[in-house]
Structure 1
Amino acid sequence: MSAPHMDPDEFRRAGHAVVDWIADYWTTLGQRPVTSADPPGALAAALPAAPPTAGEPVEAVLADLDALVTPRLTHWQHPGFFGYFPANTSGPSVLGDLVSSGLGVQGMLWATAPACTELETVMLDWLAGLLDLPQRFRSHTRGGGVIQDSASSATLVATLAALHRASGGRWRDHGVDRRYRAYTSTHGHSSIEKAARIAGLGGEGVRAVEVDPDTQAMRPDALRAAIEADRAAGDLPAIVVATIGTTSSTAVDPLPQIGAICAEYGIWLHVDAAYAGAAAVCPELRWSHAGLEYADSYCFDPHKWLLTGFDCDAFWVADRSELIEALTVMPEFLRNAATESGAVIDYRDWQVPLGRRFRALKLWFVLRWYGVEGLRAHIRRGVALAARFAERVRADDRFELAAPHPFSLVCFRLRVGAELDAVNADLLARVNGTGRVHLTHTRVGDRYTLRLAVGSPQTAEAHVDEAWRLLDEAATDLLGKG
């Protein structure tokens, strides 16, 4: 006989067990290795070949979580996780997601879940005010915001809207013999190239613009030269993607100059602030948003540095009609009186998928639990911890800082000779091999560079100091000197 559906009482009991399990997991994170030492395929080999014939209790599932799954994870919430960029979550975010899952509503149209749409609209206005974004991005204007799953999707829909504008709506028509171009810096995110490929611009649709060797930011003169060269060749510049906080080094592209160039040529400007946009909750860090008034679209990820679990990218446009025109398709089965009235927002027209979850709930929970001052304290703490680590690097003549560190990422490396890349790669492997911390690498100035990104709510001074101690010890061993 098949297992019955979980009734409310059973759900209540099981839910308490799951919440307790998560709380215990968070409590013990610091004692766990940050990454798993098991080889590929270890979990797959440990799992049964088929699902159980009869249903099992939640306790059995939680037991296997402990025994099989968590030992083979990379623990992104670990206080010693300094890799990539942070992917924060928090108690209020988890609770908001739980409520979203429990409601199980489908938010593709206002008519399918009115509160889902309206809460999202208000949350994006709250965020716009929190970051002091230009008024043109607020919902009471021609613009407005929406939650995408990631900055990659935001870049894709911005690219589609830009192509729609540049071509007068004809960029997908057969027989239109025109090549469209996108531009970003050599440190622009890989999602920009992917968006261009999905949009049909081809493998060479993105022009990589040179960066300043000192700041690692896009050079406006190089952008202008690339645009002029493409125009002379008969190509049509469609979109420039500028970055606030590049993935490699958190460089900030000069938006005032880039924006003026885009305005001069009539090119869509999308600003990708996926990681560093959260910093603008602090007034002293809003310098990074200078020139944003030029932007046609902008995004940042609360799921990176603003304590909101993945997936939650906040995306705004200055003119929502251009986005809707580029993406809308209206089948008969979705027609309804509210949509026909023009009085509501249907977020299905602001994204690639049709369906959408109630993601605004976790954002609402986070904003209400922490408040403005709590979020600012979290950001400032990360910046301060990164500065503490950078001071350790700066004070040791064996090391050097590889780039400025305006936020909570520090790029650094050992000062060694011809074998710089190999020695720094060995340093990273040794430190990560301890299981106490996890760092990642990039290339800055075409040299192998280590990255330490602070962001976990559990990370404290002791964890940053431990990372430095491990680096110091490994460097001493590698270089053979104290």
Structure 2
Amino acid sequence: MSPDEFRRYGKQVVDWIADYLAGIESYPVRSQVRPGEVRSMLPAHPPERGEPYENVLRDVERVILPGVTHWQHPNFFAYFPANASGPAILGDLLSSGLGVQGMVWATSPACTELETVVVDWLAELLDLPFREDGVAGGVIQDSASSAALVAVLAALGKTDRPGRIYVSSQTHSALEKAARIVGSEVRVVEVDPETLAMDSAQLRALISEDVAAGVRPALVCATIGTTSTTAIDPVREIGAVCREYGVWLHVDAAYAGVAAICPELRWINDGVAEYADSYATNPHKWLLTNFDCGVLWVRDRRPMIDALSILPEFLRNQASDSGEVIDYRDWQVPLGRRFRALKLWSVIRWYGAEGLREHIRTGVSLAQRFAGFVAADPEFELWEHHPFGLVCFRPLRTSAAETLALMERVNDSGVLYLSHTKVGDDVLLRMAIGAPMTTAEHVDHAWQVIRDARGVLGQSR
């Protein structure tokens, strides 16, 4: 493809994306295709000869689009937001166009140095203490799952024998997967039955028991905003236990951490500055930056680098040998690195702190609006903890199976998309608000759809 051809087709693709976003409400939120339907529309074998790009664009409309669940739809309320925005998409396009491989500073100095600056910007916006100073610092990972694995590897590097990892029943499964990858055992700490926050007293008891048995405690994961219900672990109390026993404290704030861009929500990070050894949050969830963009900060980079740095001869270069630069290949599991900083940089510059705060506050306000509807309806029960953009609730006098059936009825309609979780024996529906195009009208309509589905459920009993 020549530069002129790229220019012509590139304009068509940008126009297509703009039209798609402008008309996204015309699509069913969740894809309506059946398993295997997309595959059946694709040829079994690759083309022998190249095709005009018009054919690709035509098949995007014909084959791909029907099989897409529209995460940017204003009625997408499942899981957590996966924000994409104009400046982020353009930043990603610039990254793809430059085609940078940023494994070491020398392979593209701008890739490294922009990342250092933009991650420091984000730390400042969130009032986090981990800014680049030669000891602390941050790095963009693909996700909080990779950040958790890096934290586990760093923590284990400080031990002289296999270490144990401590999580709660509400901790993201990424920590269990990280433990499986490195061959560590996991102990599950009980949670407060009302708040679902980790019980720091039981954590102390478990660690004390393990130490007495000769087991090395390696890492505790405290969560700020669990995936299930956005429960918040008591970081300060957990941190005190970790400090007492010399255990690495990793704070997983994948979804909720970006909320601290609003001063009134910085209470969520109580204890982080004093106790956290590592901290992760995902701008690609709620901060208008399309996937993948997760940020990991560490208080002391040395254990991480010691655990991950392997230097083959083909990577040796004068800049790295000087010790004057950062090589982010030593801050992650893979060697290769995309120029992810461009899209986060584009987002922060386009919106500014003021615009980013407005986006978070809008999501919180709309969630409170929805929670008010649930609380006022005698047919529903509200999960009381909802400080962010997620509201958990359930219909009363229904079984778990009936609650799931209600959700599937709503989701199958294509009008909106919800997900669920389970607390004890209760199935809760999750209404996650945060898409840039979601307004009060969308929230009001979603509530009406849910109430109507509840009414149908009641009639069928």
* Structure 2: distance between partners of 1:402 and 1:388: 14
Greater CA drift, 240-249 or 456-465:
456-465
Among 357, 366, 369, the residue aligned to 2:350:
369
Does 1:188 pair with 2:188?
A: no
Deviation at 1:423, TM superposition (A): 1.7
Partner of 2:154: 161
| Counterpart Cα distance in 2 of 1:66 and 1:27 | 15
The residue that corresponds to 2:145 in the other structure is 152
2-side partners of 1:228 and 1:403: how far apart?
A: 33
Q: Which residue of 2 aligns with 1:272?
A: 252
1:46 Cα shift? 0.3
For residues 25-70 of structure 1, what are the alpha-carbon distances to aligned partners after superposition, in whole Å with 9 as ceiling and x for unaligned? 1111111001122211111110012222222222221111111101
Residue 78 in structure 1 maps to residue 58 in structure 2? no
Amino acid of the structure 1 residue aligned with 2:190: E
Matched, 1:253 2:236: no
Using the alignment, how far apart are the partners of 1:208 and 1:464 within structure 2? 36
Report whether the alignment pairs 1:346 with 2:327: yes
Matched residue SS, 2:336: coil
Which of residues 213, 233, 236 in structure 1 aligns to 2:216? 236
Counterpart CA distance in 2 for 1:15 and 1:74 is 24
In percent, how many aligned pairs have the same letter? 62
Instruction: Indicate conservation of the 8 Å contact 1:271/1:295, yes or no.
Output: yes
For the pair 1:440 / 2:433, whether they are aligned, the reply is no
> What is the Cα deviation at residue 336 of structure 1?
0.7
Q: Give yes or no for contact 1:414–1:420 (8 Å, CA) kept in 2.
A: no
Where does residue 434 of structure 2 map in the other structure?
A: 455
The SS at the match of 1:15 is helix
SS at match of 1:435: coil
User: What's 2:452 paired with?
Assistant: 473
Structure 1 CA distance for aligned equivalents of residues 205 and 109 of structure 2: 48
2-side partners of 1:428 and 1:75: how far apart? 17
Cα deviation, 1:109-165, whole Å, max 9, x if unaligned, reads 00111110000000110000000002xx11125100000000000000100000011
Structure 1 gap segments, 5+ residues each: 1-5, 172-178
1:405 to 386, 397, 402: 386
The match for 1:318 is 299
Return the match for 1:387 from 355, 364, 368. 368
Amino acid at match of 1:451: R
The Cα shift of 1:454 comes to 0.6
Offset at 1:357? Answer: 0.6
Aligned counterpart, 1:359: 340
Give the aligned partner of residue 199 of structure 1: 182
**2:204 is aligned with 1:209:** no
Q: Runs ≥4 in structure 1, deviation > 3 angstroms?
A: none
Q: For residues 141 and 105 of structure 1, what CA distance do their matches in structure 2 show?
A: 25
**Offset from partner CA, 1:250-280 (integer Å, 9 cap, x none):** 0110011001110111000000000000100
AA aligned opposite 2:179: A
Measure how far apart 1:446 and its partner are.
Answer: 3.2
Q: Which residue number corresponds to residue 36 of structure 1?
A: 31
- Tell me the equivalent position of 1:175: none
Query: Which residue, out of 394, 400, 408, partners 1:421?
Result: 400
Distance in 2 separating the partners of 1:277 and 1:10: 42
SS of residue matched to 1:166: coil
Task: State the TM-score, normalizing by the size of structure 2.
Answer: 0.98
What is the distance in 1 between the residues matched to 2:446 and 2:209?
A: 47
- Any idea what SS the aligned residue of 1:261 has? helix
1:176: which partner in 2?
none
CA distances 1:303-360 after superposition (whole Å, capped 9, x unpaired): 0000101110011000011110111000011111111111100000000000101000
Decide which moves more: 402-411 or 156-165: 402-411
Structure 1 counterpart of 2:132, one-letter code: S
Query: Are 2:83 and 1:124 aligned?
Result: no
- Alignment of 1:328 onto 2:309: yes
Map of 1:276-291 to 2, 5 A cutoff? 276-291=256-271
CA–CA distance in structure 2, aligned partners of residues 351 and 28 of structure 1:
39
Match of 1:477, SS state, is helix
Q: Could you say which residue in structure 1 is the equivalent of 2:85?
A: 90
Offset at residue 403 of structure 1 (A): 4.1
Matching of residue 115 in structure 1 with residue 110 in structure 2: yes
- Partner-residue secondary structure (3-state), 1:480: helix
Letter in 2 for 1:424: T
How far apart, CA to CA, are the structure 1 residues paired with 2:285 and 2:5? Answer: 34
Distance 1:298 1:248 in 2: 19
Letter in 2 for 1:191: A
Where structure 2 has 5 or more consecutive residues not aligned to the other structure, the ranges are none
Q: Give the SS at the match of 1:315.
A: strand
Counterpart residue type for residue 212 of structure 2: A
TM-score after normalising by structure 1: 0.94
Distance 1:200 1:385 in 2: 43
Describe the shift of the 1:303–1:47 C-alpha distance in structure 2 as closer, same or farther (beyond 3 A): same
Question: In structure 2, what is the Cα distance between the partners aligned to 1:410 and 1:352?
Answer: 35
Equivalent residue, structure 1, for 2:359: 378
- For the 8 Å contact 1:95–1:362, the answer to whether it is kept is yes
CA distance in 2, matches of 1:414, 1:74: 26
Structure 2 residue identity aligned to 1:196: A
How far apart, in 2, do the equivalents of 1:464 and 1:229 lie? Answer: 49
Code of the residue aligned with 2:202 in structure 1: it is A
Aligned length: 459
Q: State the Cα RMSD in Å.
A: 1.1
Find the aligned partners of 1:106 and 1:36 in 2 and give their Cα distance: 35
TM-aligned CA deviation for residue 225 of structure 1: 1.4
Q: Secondary structure at the match of 2:456?
A: helix
Q: 1:353-377, CA deviations, whole angstroms, 9 ceiling, x for partnerless residues? A: 0010100000111000000000000
